[in-house]
Structure 1
Amino acid sequence: MENNPIISLCMIVKDEEERIETCLKSASSIADEVIIVDTGSTDQTIKLCQQFENVKILHYDWDQHFANARNFGIDHARGEWILWLDADEELDVPSWETVKEQLAQQEEATVIQLPVFNYVGERLPIQPEQVFIYYQPRLFRNSKGYQFLKRIHETLKLPTDANITYLPSKIHHYGYITEIEKKKKKETRNIELLQIDIDKMAEDPWVAYHLASEYYRRQEYTQAFQYINLSIYYFLQKLIKPPSILYRLKYAILIETKSLDGAWPSIEKAIDLYPDYVDLHFFKGYILFEKERYKEALEAFGRCLELGDDHKEHLIWQGTGSYRAMEYKGKCLKKIDQGLYDKGGKI
C-alpha cells in the first residue's frame, strides 16, 4: 500500500466557465492528476482548466450518455484511486486535509462513500440549512475495473464483493439551486434523456424515479406522482424492496399537494419498511400536526429526535432529526397547552 496514494480526479464538462475554477481549486491539493472530458464547450471552460497543473483535456463526441463519457475519462486515469466530481461541485477543503493518510490505511476498502451536500433554494449564496445530505460512492480503486451505468444520473456498478467504507470528507453540490438549473437548462435536458429510455422502466425502475424527481422540481406534481408510483410498482414487480428515497419523494409530493388523506395512514407502511428513516418520521409528524392530531405528532417528532441526523443509508433533509423536529415538537406542545381539541382524541 502506498503511503501517498495517487488520486485521479475525473470530470465531464461542457460550458462550465462559471463554476469550473472553484471546483478545481478545491481539489488542487488532493488530485494528482485531473482528467477533463469535454463534450463540446464553446466558452472559456477549456482555457480555465488549462491553468491548473496535471490537467489532461480529452475531447468526447457527445452521444447523449453520461456513463459512456464518464467511463471514457476513467479509462485514461493512472491514479490508484479515482475521485469523480461535476463542475457544479466543490470539495469541503478542511474535511479533505487528511484524506490521503486515511486512504493509505484502507488496505481492504475498494469504494469510499462520501457525504454529498445537495443545496436547494432560489439562488446563490446558499442557505446552509437548505440542504439534503446523501452518501455516494465518490472514491473508488482504479485497479478494480469499475464502470458507470445509465444514460443520465449515472451510477457506479459495484460487484457484490465490493468492500465499501465511509469517510466524512464532504462534497458541496450546487446544481439544484434554481438559478443554476435554469442557466444550464438541466431539467429539460434531463427529461429529454430520460424519455429516451422510458420504454425500459420495467427493466430499470430508476428511470421512472428520476422522471418523478425532475417533474417534482418543476412543481408538476401530477406527473411526478404518476412516475413515482410506477417506480415503486416496477421495483416490487422485480421482487426488490423499493429504495427509501422513493418513499421520501412520494410523501413529499403528497405533502406539497396537501393530499393529507392520501398520505395518512399509508405512510405507516413506508415506515414499517424503513423504521430508521428519520425523514419519514418527520413527514408523519407533519401530516399528523396538519390533521390536528397533536399528541400523535408529538410522538413522531420525539422519534425523530431519537434517530438524529446522522444517517448514511438515506437521503436526509438536514435538521429532520434535530432542530426541525424540535421546532415542531414545540408547536405541538403549544397547541396542547392551549387546550385545543385534538382530532386524535380529546386532550
Structure 2
Amino acid sequence: MAELNNTPTLAVCMIVKNEERVLERCLNGLDGIYDELCIVDTGSTDRTVEIVQRYTDKVQVFHQCNDEQGNIIDFSAARNRALEMTQADWVLQIDADEVICQGKEHIRTHITREDTDRIAMIIRNGRADNDVLSGRLFRRSNAQGYKSAIHEYLEFDGRADLDNRLMIENLPDKKGKETGSERNIRLCIKQLEVKSDDSRTWYYLGSEYLLKQDFSQAAECLKNAKLYDNYKQGKYHVRYYLAVSLFHCHDWRGAVDAANEAIDIDDRYAESYCLLGDVFFTLGILDKAEIAYQQALSCTPPKDALLGTKPWAYQAHPASQLEKITELSDA
C-alpha cells in the first residue's frame, strides 16, 4: 500500500463475485499504487470475501444490484456503491479478472497533475484488435456516478487525457460461472424490455451476437441501434459493425451503404474502407477495391477511438489485398 504522507490520494474501487481464482493476481499487481482499496462483493459463495479481507477492511456485501436468483442485473448500482466508499482524491476502477499489464509506474504521477481530471487507458480483451479506451483513472470530485445496468459508464464533468502507456488486460476465468457473453446478452435483453429505443444497448447486444458469429441477429440489433441513433459516441461503430454483419450475410448493397455512412460520420478510420474493399474484391470489382484499400492505407488510428480500432486495417490487410489485386491484374 502506498504511504499516506502525501496528497493527492488514490482509491482502487472494485466490484467482485466468486473471484477466488483470479482475485489475488489482480490485487498483488496493484501493490504500491493505492491509498485505499474499496471492494463491493455482490454475493460471493466462494472464498472471495476472505481473500479481500487480507488486503483491506473496506469491503461491503451488496445484494441490491441482483435479481431474486442472485444474478447481477445492475452493474452501475454496484459501481456507485463502491464509489461511495471512498473520499480519496482520485479513483482507479479495475475488475478482479483484470491486471495492470503496462504502465503501472505512471499512475501516481498522473494523480498529481492539475491539467486533467481523467486519464483514459487501453483495455485489452484477448487480442490487440479488441482494444478499447476507457477513462478508468479519474478525479473523484468530478464523477457524477455510473449509469446503465449493463456496459455501465461514468458520467463525468472535467478534462480528459489519454495515456496509451497504461494498459489493463482482461484475463477471465469463467469456470463454473455464467460466461460474460451469456450474461451480457441476458442483461441487454432485460434492459431493452424497459427502454426499447436505447441505441447503446442495441449496439452492445449486436456486438455480442457478432462475437458469437450470429450475423443475421447482429445485423438486426445494429439496424435498431442505427434506427434510434441516440448513442452519440457510437454513431460510427454502429454503422461499421452493421456493415460487417451485412457483409457476412452477403448483403453486399447493405454493407456498402452502411460502410459509406460510417465514413461520412468519421473518415479517419481505415476499417470501413477495408470493408468496402472487401465487398468489391469479393464481387470482382477490382478497380473500386483498389481505391478503397488505398484509402485505408492513408489512415492512421484515431487517438480518441474510445470503442477501439483494428490494427490489421491500417497496414497489413489493405497492403495484402493490393498485392492480390496486382497479381490478378498481371495474370
- What SS is found at the alignment partner of 1:187? helix
Q: Cα RMSD between the aligned structures?
A: 2.6
Matched, 1:327 2:311: no
Matched, 1:195 2:197: no
1:18 corresponds to: 21
> Structure 1 pair 304/173, CA: closer, same or farther in 2 (3 Å)?
farther
Q: Tell me how far apart the structure 1 counterparts of residues 176 and 203 of structure 2 sit (CA, whole Å).
A: 21
- Report the Cα offset of residue 182 of structure 1: 8.5
Please point out which of 301, 309, 313 is paired with 1:309: 301
- Which moved further from structure 2: 211-220 or 196-205? 196-205
Over residues 108-132 of structure 1, what are the superposed CA-to-partner deviations in whole Å (9 max), with x where a residue is unaligned?
A: 312221121222xxxxxxxx55x32
- Report the Cα offset of residue 265 of structure 1: 4.4
- Report the Cα offset of residue 91 of structure 1: 0.9
2:60 corresponds to: 58
Give, as a single letter, the amino acid of the residue that structure 2 aligns with 1:80.
Answer: D
Over residues 232-283 of structure 1, what are the superposed CA-to-partner deviations in whole Å (9 max), with x where a residue is unaligned?
A: 1111xx5968522212221221223333233124422221111112221221
For 1:168-317, what aligned pairs fall within 5 Å after superposition? Answer: 168=164, 169-174=166-171, 180=174, 183-201=177-195, 203-235=197-229, 243-309=235-301, 311-313=303-305, 314-317=307-310
Please point out which of 126, 132, 144 is paired with 1:146: 144
1:49 corresponds to: 52
How many residue pairs match? The answer is: 318
Q: After TM superposition, which residue ranges in structure 1, 4 or more long, deviate above 6 angstroms?
A: none
Give, as a single letter, the amino acid of the residue that structure 2 aligns with 1:98.
Answer: H
| Cα pair 1:152 1:193 within 8 Å, conserved | yes
1:124 corresponds to: none
- What SS is found at the alignment partner of 1:243? helix
| Runs of at least 5 residues in structure 2 that lack an aligned partner in the other structure | 67-72
| Runs of at least 5 residues in structure 1 that lack an aligned partner in the other structure | 120-127, 339-347
- What SS is found at the alignment partner of 1:151? coil
> Structure 1 pair 325/18, CA: closer, same or farther in 2 (3 Å)?
farther
Over residues 2-41 of structure 1, what are the superposed CA-to-partner deviations in whole Å (9 max), with x where a residue is unaligned?
A: 9753221111111112222222222223222221111111
> Structure 1 pair 291/69, CA: closer, same or farther in 2 (3 Å)?
same
Please point out which of 78, 83, 97 is paired with 1:74: 83
2:118 corresponds to: 111
Give, as a single letter, the amino acid of the residue that structure 1 aligns with 2:216.
Answer: T
- Report the Cα offset of residue 205 of structure 1: 1.9
> Structure 1 pair 28/297, CA: closer, same or farther in 2 (3 Å)?
farther
- Report the Cα offset of residue 222 of structure 1: 2.5
| Cα pair 1:36 1:55 within 8 Å, conserved | no
- Report the Cα offset of residue 145 of structure 1: 4.0
Give, as a single letter, the amino acid of the residue that structure 2 aligns with 1:185.
Answer: T
1:122 corresponds to: none
Give, as a single letter, the amino acid of the residue that structure 2 aligns with 1:196.
Answer: K
> Structure 1 pair 293/183, CA: closer, same or farther in 2 (3 Å)?
farther
> Structure 1 pair 181/212, CA: closer, same or farther in 2 (3 Å)?
farther
Q: Tell me how far apart the structure 1 counterparts of residues 283 and 47 of structure 2 sit (CA, whole Å).
A: 54
> Structure 1 pair 55/222, CA: closer, same or farther in 2 (3 Å)?
farther
- Report the Cα offset of residue 180 of structure 1: 4.2
Please point out which of 149, 163, 173 is paired with 2:159: 163
| Cα pair 1:309 1:319 within 8 Å, conserved | no
1:5 corresponds to: 8
- Identical residues among aligned pairs (%): 25
Q: Tell me how far apart the structure 2 counterparts of residues 35 and 5 of structure 1 sit (CA, whole Å).
A: 17
Q: Tell me how far apart the structure 1 counterparts of residues 175 and 268 of structure 2 sit (CA, whole Å).
A: 32
- Report the Cα offset of residue 49 of structure 1: 2.8
Give, as a single letter, the amino acid of the residue that structure 2 aligns with 1:173.
Answer: N
**Length-normalised TM-score, structure 2:** 0.86
> Structure 1 pair 50/304, CA: closer, same or farther in 2 (3 Å)?
farther
Q: Tell me how far apart the structure 1 counterparts of residues 195 and 99 of structure 2 sit (CA, whole Å).
A: 32
Please point out which of 93, 104, 114 is paired with 1:84: 93
Q: Tell me how far apart the structure 2 counterparts of residues 241 and 9 of structure 1 sit (CA, whole Å).
A: 26
> Structure 1 pair 146/266, CA: closer, same or farther in 2 (3 Å)?
closer
Q: Tell me how far apart the structure 1 counterparts of residues 154 and 185 of structure 2 sit (CA, whole Å).
A: 21
| Cα pair 2:203 2:238 within 8 Å, conserved | yes
1:30 corresponds to: 33
